[in-house]
Amino acid sequence: MAGRILSVLFALLYSVAAIQVKSNWVINSLERAVDVRSSYAKVRYELIAENIGSVPSDEFVIALPSGFAKKAAVIAPVLRSPKTTSSALLNDTVIQPDDALPNVDYYMLKIGAPIAPKSSIALSLTMISTHQLHPVPESAPMSESQSITLDTIRYPVSPYAIKQYAVIFVGTENGNMKWDSELPDPLDLDFTTKEDKIFTEPTKGTIPPNTYIPMEVEFTKKGFISDVSYLKRECWVSHWGNAYETRDYYELTNAGAKLSEGFNRAKWMSHGLANKLTPAITSIQFLLPQEEVSDIYYTDKVGNVSTSRVASNRLILHPRYPIMGGWHYNFTVGWKSSLTNFLKTVGPSTYLVNFKILGGLVDSIYDNVDLSIILPEGAEVLDVSAPYEYSDLEISNIYSYLDVTTGRTVVSLNYKNLISDQMETEIYVKYRYTYAELIKKPLTTSLYVFLALFAMYILRKVNMSIKPSENASKKQ
């Protein structure tokens, strides 16, 4: 029974107006890793906490800076010990402790089984936040690398005391840390800089509860920051053609440092910047599905773009021009595959189709995503299973090629604040599509074609001439 309870660890999250956080936990060790090599910041905590209270406890509170929590795409706690394989995503529900800091959000985790006094838990906490990386200065010359600032904290904020702490920042080439030195600093951290890392060895000491020291980490980033402000993703399902087609429309922005001067094509070519790792976007990479795909196309507002190639399992696109910091680029990518790779029969005339939540663009932020799966004409939606919290679920109909009755059934969802790490996540749609509906379209189309041909035949027999007939002329 206990194992069954632990298998649903963290399944319950609740909020209260105001509570007193009990000082019945101490964090004996905490390791923090911050990765800024992508277009977004990844943070991972590995901690061991001990119940120092006199009674068993099944509650544990975590705290995050409000700025980070509000922009979080993923917040995932996992209990490593006692052993369990379950994890849970936190939602926007927070608790309000009596001694809460004004710029910190607090989350209450409800552990599946009470932890006895003097017993410990091992907890991993993964957090991924968007729009935490900002170019400083906002403008720079075309040929220079860009400086990026990460808004973070010097120590993990927690309602519990921390006895040992270690941290590493990855991807911080030429890194420099800034914080208010007048604030009380509980530990004498000895940072080491090596290549693109800033780290400190595990340091013993006591970090008091609710210690909050804002810090900025400034570093050099050679690559670009990709931000998809809008993605419209469509998946078309055809039973007659055994076809599964995706069509993705992107509105992409380079969120890096803007040009401090106008773009100079001659300078761009003479300095060989097109062949160097620069803040400009010169190529866009997509991970292709494991299933075999065909008829890949790449278009923009002008028309078809031929500068694309497939290498291994990646589609590499080259825009018509380098996308500099602050510049925008709109384009569409599509491909086809066999429907049998994505469709399962789960009952009489009942099917389950799956499609990925994102289209495979490597290393990007997605601010607004509209998803549509377009089922055959006459399909009846039975259920939609989607991960994460979505908005605006709508079932409607549209007319496309040779649709003659009700039009195709469309399931539409909207997501906010996604990242490329979530591209493998799938949405499932269960629907009913009977044999009568399957043959209805070709039969109806055939009937209309027959009626059209018959009408043409009748019209050809009708004398539309305005000249008098020969008999009428003779009578006159």
| Element spanning 282, H or E | none
User: Closest Cα to residue 248, out of 354, 370, 362?
Assistant: 370
DSSP state letter for 95: B
DSSP readout, 346-368? EETTEEEEEEESS--BSS-EEEE
* Strand order across the 284-287 sheet: 284-287, 314-317, 308-311
Residue 266 DSSP SS3? helix
Q: 282-314 as b/e, with b when 16 or more CB fall inside 10 Å?
A: bebebbbbeeebeeeebeeeeeebeebeeeeee
Are residues 228 and 365 in contact, defined by beta-carbon separation less than 8 angstroms? yes
Residue pointed to by tokens 């968007």: 130
Alpha-helix residue ranges (DSSP H) falling in 203-334: 265-270
Residue 166 CB neighbour total at 10 angstroms:
16
Question: What one-letter code names the amino acid at 178?
Answer: K
Read off the tokens for 435.
């044999």
| CB-based contact 300:330 (threshold 8 Å) | yes
Going along the chain from its start, the domains and CATH numbers come out as 2-221 (2.60.40), 226-436 (2.60.40.1730)
* Side-chain half-sphere exposure of 77, counting CA atoms within 13 A: 24
* Peptide linkage before 82 cis (omega within 30 of 0): yes
d(CA 315, CA 101): 47
E-strand ranges in 399-476 read: 408-419, 426-432
pLDDT tens track, the chain, 476 positions: 333 333 333 333 333 345 667 788 999 999 999 999 999 999 999 999 999 999 998 888 899 888 787 788 888 888 888 865 444 434 445 788 877 888 898 888 878 778 899 999 999 999 999 999 999 888 877 767 789 999 999 999 999 999 999 999 999 999 999 998 888 889 988 899 998 999 999 999 999 999 999 999 999 988 889 999 999 999 999 988 899 999 999 999 999 888 888 787 777 776 666 666 678 888 899 998 888 889 999 999 888 888 888 888 899 999 988 898 899 999 999 999 999 999 999 989 899 999 999 988 999 999 999 999 999 888 899 999 988 888 888 999 888 776 667 788 999 999 999 999 999 889 999 999 887 666 667 677 777 777 888 788 787 877 766 666 566 555 55
Q: How many residues does the chain have?
A: 476
Q: Which tokens in the block code for residue 147?
A: 């400086």
**Start-to-end C-alpha separation, the chain:** 108
Structure-token pair, residue 23: 């000082």
- DSSP 3-state assignment of 449? helix
- Judged on CB neighbours under 10 Å (0-12, 13-18, 19+), 159 is buried
Q: Would you state the structure tokens that stand for residue 197, as one six-digit string?
A: 């890392």
Cα–Cα dist 424/357, whole Å: 7
Tokens 């495979």 correspond to 360
Q: Does 141 sit behind a cis peptide bond, omega within 30 degrees of 0 on the bond before it?
A: no
Q: What tokens does 215 get? A: 């810090």
User: Burial of 4 by CB count in 10 Å (0-12 exposed, 13-18 middle, 19+ buried)?
Assistant: exposed
The amino acid present at 323, given as its one-letter code, is: I
